[in-house]
Structure 1
Amino acid sequence: MTLGGFLDVSRETMERLERYSELLVKWNPRINLVSKSTIDDLWTRHILDSAQIFEIPKGGIRRWVDLGSGGGFPGLVVAVLVRELEQQFEIMLVESDARKCAFLSSVARELDLKVQIKNDRIENLNSLDADIVSARALADLSSLLDLSERHLAQGATLLLMKGKKWRSELETAQSKWNFDCQIVKSKTSEGSVILCVSGVCRV
């Protein structure tokens, strides 16, 4: 089956994503996992938007850390997609809101997903030695680099989903940090991008 016209997945994966969306709709009135204005467009705005990030990394992943996972975007969607791979890797979801962590844990149990959930602020955690760090709608680029720096393994990549103001964020970050950045256009949101950042160090 084709997910969003760009990713081939099994029937089992599609069923897990459908169940995930059902659970999110059920929980959302209680803990506001996503904006009410986007709930009717949940698949495009959140699930497919998150799924596209899964296409970017190319092998050699030991640990994927998702910062500010919230309702599970993109980290929980990645965890569903990873189940199809022969080469598994560790997925860690970092979320400071205990209620959202309860939701993430509930979905992970029901869908039999192998994830670690850290109910804490990222700045409070010891180094996570991540090969991939992802984040969506969490903070500006400079702040994300500051939060992520000590958690990056050698050769790590940050996959940061950004909206239409990404150019100004990139310019500001480049005055404070040295890094390489590949810009991947979003397949689900006009003007949005995924910033693939590597080689991070302070100026």
Structure 2
Amino acid sequence: MTPVPPSSIPGVSRETLERLTCFANLLVRWTAKINLISPGDVPHLWERHILDSLQLAPLIEQGSHVTDLGSGGGFPGLIIAIAADADVTLVESDRRKATFLREASRATGCRTTIVNQRIEAAAVPPAPVVTARALANLSQLLTWTEKLVANDGYALFLKGQQAADELTNAERDWHMTVTNIPSRTSGGTILKISDIRRV
């Protein structure tokens, strides 16, 4: 059963909502074949995944270039590509998920490049913005991001309730400038991180 999309989302145009709905319908169909999201999450797809990822769009300049790490089922990278009209490089090591990302990009008319490689092996140029969601602890994310973010760029990480602990651990090895933005869809936070360098 395909979850019903919201009738409207503040700050989101009707055209963008239609593209998000197209993406949601495709994801539900593919989830029956491959593990894009947990089957138990399907009824909550909009709240748990789409609206959660959508929080990043206002933090990214329209049309910007973004590198999304561990894109999986398209969160948050494809949502950003749709809502921020961004040019997004989606890095995903799983071949079947990469195939889904290509199909979803085509169906929704997104400007994306799908890189079907492990993050540490991905040869992509530094981007102004690097994003990730539900992927790894902060220290690991910073290790990957250091070479993938432009000198004056920043990272946006959707983190859960352990974000404060992860920050404390990461600060032992990393210098960074951090802005905490409370999540509107969960008890977690969005970490906006710039000036990333090893201590």
TM range (shorter): over 0.9
Query: Cα distance, 1:57 vs. partner?
Result: 3.1
What's the CA shift for 1:54?
0.8
| 1:13 matched to 2:32 | no
* Cα distance in 2, alignment partners of residues 149 and 38 from structure 1: 32
Which deviations, in whole Å up to 9, do the C-alpha atoms of 1:96-125 show, x marking residues without a partner? 001001111111111111111100011102
The letter of the residue matching 1:43 is: W
Question: Share of identical aligned residues, percent?
Answer: 42
Question: How many angstroms apart in 1 are the aligned matches of 2:61 and 2:22?
Answer: 28
* In 2: Cα distance, 1:29 partner to 1:128 partner: 34
User: How does 1:49-68 map onto structure 2 within 5 Å?
Assistant: 49-58=52-61, 62-68=64-70
Corresponding position: 1:114 with 2:111: yes
Tell me the equivalent position of 1:69: 71
Map Cα deviations across residues 120-176 of structure 1 (whole Å, 9 max, x no partner). 011102352111000000000000000111111111110001001111101000011
1:201: which partner in 2?
197
8 Å contact kept, 1:63–1:129: no
Q: What's the TM-score once normalised by structure 2's chain length? A: 0.92
Q: Whole-Å Cα distance in 2 between the matches of residues 23 and 156 of structure 1?
A: 32
Determine helix, strand or coil for the equivalent of 2:36. coil
User: Letter of the aligned partner of 1:188 in structure 2?
Assistant: T
Separation in structure 1 between the aligned mates of residue 23 and residue 64 of structure 2, nearest angstrom: 25
Q: Deviations over 1:78-108 (max 9, x none)?
A: 111133xxxxx42111000010011111111
Given that 1:177 and 1:201 are in contact with CA atoms closer than 8 Å, whether structure 2 keeps it comes out as yes
Question: Residue 194 of structure 2: SS of its match in structure 1?
Answer: strand
Partner of 2:81: 79
Which residue does the alignment assign to 2:48? 45
Considering only aligned residues, what root-mean-square deviation do their CA atoms show, in Å? 1.5
Structure 1: tracts of 5 or more residues without a match: 84-88
C-alpha distance in structure 2 between counterparts of 1:23 and 1:126, whole Å = 29
Give distance in 2, aligned partners of 1:200 and 1:73.
23
Answer yes or no: is 1:23 the counterpart of 2:26. Answer: yes
TM-score, scaled to structure 1? 0.90
Q: Does 1:184 align with 2:181?
A: yes
Question: Match of 1:36?
Answer: 39
Equivalenced residues, count: 193
Q: Distance in 2 between matches of 1:106 and 1:197?
A: 31
Q: Which 4+ runs in 1 deviate beyond 6 A?
A: none
